[in-house]
Amino acid sequence: MNRTNKVLLALLLLQFCLVANVFWTQLSAQREPTGALFEDFNPDAVTSVFFMGEQGDGTEVKKDAKGTWVLPEKDGYPADENKVEEFLHKIQKLDRRVVVASTRSAHSRLKVANSIYNRKVVFHSADSADDEVLFIGTEPTQGQLHVRAGGDDRVFLTRDLSAWEAGTDSALWLKRDYLKVPSASLTEIQIKNPNGSLRFFKGDNGQWEMEGLRPGEIVNTSSVDLLVNRIATVRMQDVAGKTDQPSFGLDEPLLKATLSYRPAEDPGGPRAVVLLVGHKGEDKDMHIAKSSESEFYVSVPAYAIQEVIQAKGADYVAPKSRNASPDK
């Protein structure tokens, strides 16, 4: 056999191996016609979800007495309800169409074993005495994931879930919007910071006005709108607890902001919420904040609140009016 024939034979054998591999993969991935991974799984009935990682790390989200999703390890701080509900509905949609293994011998290799896994998620429901358990394993290719239901030896392939969606870090499940007042409902903002005091209020025309303008000066509404956006929605970084600490610096806060607003759904009188922001602590990138509408103290990134802390009257006067005389 000459060299050319040997090369052709080698290529033929390689092609045969590739075809056999594809055939074996397709044969291994048996398909079942129908069936949910968890039969009768009801997202609305779930009362707690515990996420565990391969390193023993974990976190829990659960419903409190009011039916609100919270994080027990964060003193019961609210969880991101939309994120939790979205995750539960994804679990409900997981199916058993593609089977990649049917025996326990494959569990460790695919990281869906009882003690060897990438993620283990336990669901407790009010209408069931038994918990549902989901094992999340390896990713054979991007966008695919091996999963197994507790009590079932079969391992399935899914494209409808990713491991990062079952995060074991409690910070991933926090409700980030600590203070959120719709800008359109605001009627007045009072700010006290190291530069003094500011008061903004809505005029009869619905536009922002500023107290203390000199004759000929007009308010820079664009600048005020930016300030309003900063203070009306405050996003937190982490929970600092429910008890005030001297290190929070809230006895003499760096910022005190009082927001008066009229909720669209409430025909009654206006409400007011007070936000206190303390001095920077050991973490120079964070301030501790406390809202009068929350029992929680939280950390807030300095960059997110710095503009309000440094605000001064001159920043909100329209440039063309600063040098205007009373006669003009």
Report CA 206 to chain centroid distance, whole Å.
34
How many C-beta neighbours within 10 Å does residue 282 have?
A: 6
Pick from 98, 92, 99: nearest CA to 40: 92
* Residue 290 three-state SS: strand
Residues 225, 204: Cα–Cα separation, whole Å: 17
**DSSP letter (8 states) at residue 20:** H
Pick from 112, 197, 191, 214: nearest CA to 155: 112
Q: What are phi and psi of 108, to 5 degrees?
A: -65, -40
**Amino acid in position 203:** G
Q: How is 99-138 classified by DSSP, letter by letter?
A: EEE-SGGGTTTTTBSSSSBSEEEEEEETT-SS-EEEEE--
List alpha helices for the chain, DSSP H: 3-28, 81-93, 221-232, 302-309
Q: Where are the domains of the chain?
A: 30-173, 177-321
Spatial CB neighbours of 70, under 8 Å, sequence gap ≥ 6: 61, 62, 63, 64, 76, 77, 78, 79
How many C-beta neighbours within 10 Å does residue 277 have?
A: 24
pLDDT in tens, the chain (328 residues): 565 555 455 555 656 555 444 444 444 444 454 589 999 899 999 999 999 999 989 999 999 999 999 999 999 999 999 999 999 999 999 999 999 999 999 999 999 999 999 999 999 998 888 999 999 999 999 999 999 999 999 999 999 999 999 999 999 999 999 999 998 899 999 999 999 999 999 998 889 999 999 998 999 999 999 999 999 999 999 999 999 999 999 999 999 999 999 887 766 678 999 999 998 877 889 999 999 999 999 999 999 999 999 999 999 999 866 555 454 4
Question: In this structure, are strands 238-241 and 233-235 parallel, antiparallel, or unpaired?
Answer: unpaired
